Amino acid sequence: MKKLINGVESVLEESLNGFARAHSNIIQFNHQPHYVTRKNKPENKVALISGGGAGHEPLHTGLVGKGMLDAACPGQVFTSPTPDQMLMAAQEVENGAGVLFIVKNYAGDVMNFEIAAEMLDCPHETVLVNDDVSLPKNHSTGRRGVAGTLIVEKIVGAAAEAGADLAACKQLGDKVVNSTASMGVALTSCTVPALGQPTFDISDNEVEMGVGIHGERGREVMSLTTADDLVHILAKAIDEELKPTKDQRVLLHINGFGATPLMELYLVYDLAAQFFEERGIKIVRSLVGNYTTSLDMAGCSITLTLMDDEMLQYWDAPVHTAALRWGI
């Protein structure tokens, strides 16, 4: 294992210290327990809180700021944050309009956010993100929350910034989740520092189709083939799930897992855009880059969101975070 770290025990704390120094104009970092909060929070605004295991940066800490999250709770690498992190973060950022938790559908995250919500003495709601269509809807643990989480946080974050109340933010969040589908492919595994070796074995001539963002097994291990073939498999699964009609406006998001260069991600974008445009679908917004990563995994995911006027308005609204910023 080759990593730029001092020690397995200190890597998260030191990384968060660096993040806080680099973005001290946007966020502040609470050390015990770990959570990141937005600076200059407006009064009487629904507070948006998310979180999950570290290793997916910039999700979620890099999405704290104006127009997105008010707080993010990072757990240890690929490990759910604890209820006390979520509770203390919520108590710090709640300012009279209630709290909306945005939770990826993983057992630990769901359980710990539920515990925190039960202890929270203010109005609260939860949006559960489960956009990974590599698993069937009736899977025993449900579908996983993956790169579509960013889309939810951006659109709902803008609505909260504009003054939407808790019920409206919850309703909008559920609408975005139901309009979003994602699927990824891994070319390599990733290495969790505490483990010191790849999470799963994959040969040089294989890919993991439908991989999860923690290196979970997907639909199948298949032989490495062309980008054309891989993108077609991913896009076809998404198309069959969402069933967009001709002239439907969409947002197309190509997300890198951490070790795939932008040159390849833009190639994937071009192929995916061709797939959907050939079917009469209108790509009106796009996002390409490493946003929901899996440490040093090579590979990417495709996310498609069916957009309407309301969602487009909130996607375009100003945002100022470490990882996303426009209109400021």
Which domains does the chain carry?
Answer: 11-178+315-322 (3.40.50.10440), 180-306 (3.30.1180.20)
Q: Give the burial class of 197: count Cβ atoms within 10 A of its Cβ; 0-12 exposed, 13-18 middle, 19 or more buried.
A: exposed
Can you name the residues that pair with 297 across neighbouring β-strands? 258
End-to-end CA separation in angstroms for the chain:
41
Find where tokens 């730029």 sit: 4
Report d(CA 185, CA 254) in Å as an integer: 12
Mean pLDDT of the chain: 97
The answer to whether 177 touches 129, Cβ cutoff 8 Å, is yes
Question: Which helix (DSSP H) or strand (DSSP E) does residue 277 occupy?
Answer: helix 262-277
pLDDT of residue 139: 85
Q: What are phi and psi of 165, to 5 degrees?
A: -85, 180
Q: What are phi and psi of 87, to 5 degrees?
A: -65, -45
The answer to whether 312 touches 179, Cβ cutoff 8 Å, is no
Q: Is the pLDDT of residue 328 over 90?
A: no
Assess whether 56 carries a catalytic annotation: yes
For residue range 215-261, list pLDDT tens digits in order: 888 889 999 999 999 999 999 999 999 999 999 999 999 999 999 99
pLDDT of residue 326: 98
Q: Which of 23, 56, 124, 253 is catalytic?
A: 56
For residue range 158-175, list pLDDT tens digits in order: 999 999 999 999 999 999
The answer to whether 298 touches 187, Cβ cutoff 8 Å, is yes
pLDDT of residue 209: 97
Classify strands 47-54 and 71-77 as parallel, antiparallel or unpaired: parallel
Report residue 268's pLDDT band, with 50, 70 and 90 as the boundaries.
very high
Contacts for 204 with CB less than 8 Å, ≥ 6 apart: 224
Amino acid, res. 42: P
Q: Is the pLDDT of residue 141 over 90?
A: no
pTM strictly above 0.75: yes
For residue range 54-102, list pLDDT tens digits in order: 999 999 999 999 999 999 999 999 999 999 999 999 999 999 999 999 9
For residue range 27-62, list pLDDT tens digits in order: 999 999 999 999 998 999 999 999 999 999 999 999
Amino acid, res. 220: E
* Percentage of the chain exceeding pLDDT 90: 95
Report d(CA 304, CA 286) in Å as an integer: 9
pLDDT of residue 216: 87
Report residue 210's pLDDT band, with 50, 70 and 90 as the boundaries.
very high
Report residue 103's pLDDT band, with 50, 70 and 90 as the boundaries.
very high
Report CA 238 to chain centroid distance, whole Å.
17
Q: Which of 23, 34, 214, 253 is catalytic?
A: 214
pLDDT of residue 217: 80
Report d(CA 168, CA 165) in Å as an integer: 5
If one counts every other C-beta atom within 10 angstroms of the C-beta of residue 203, the result is 9
Report d(CA 36, CA 79) in Å as an integer: 17
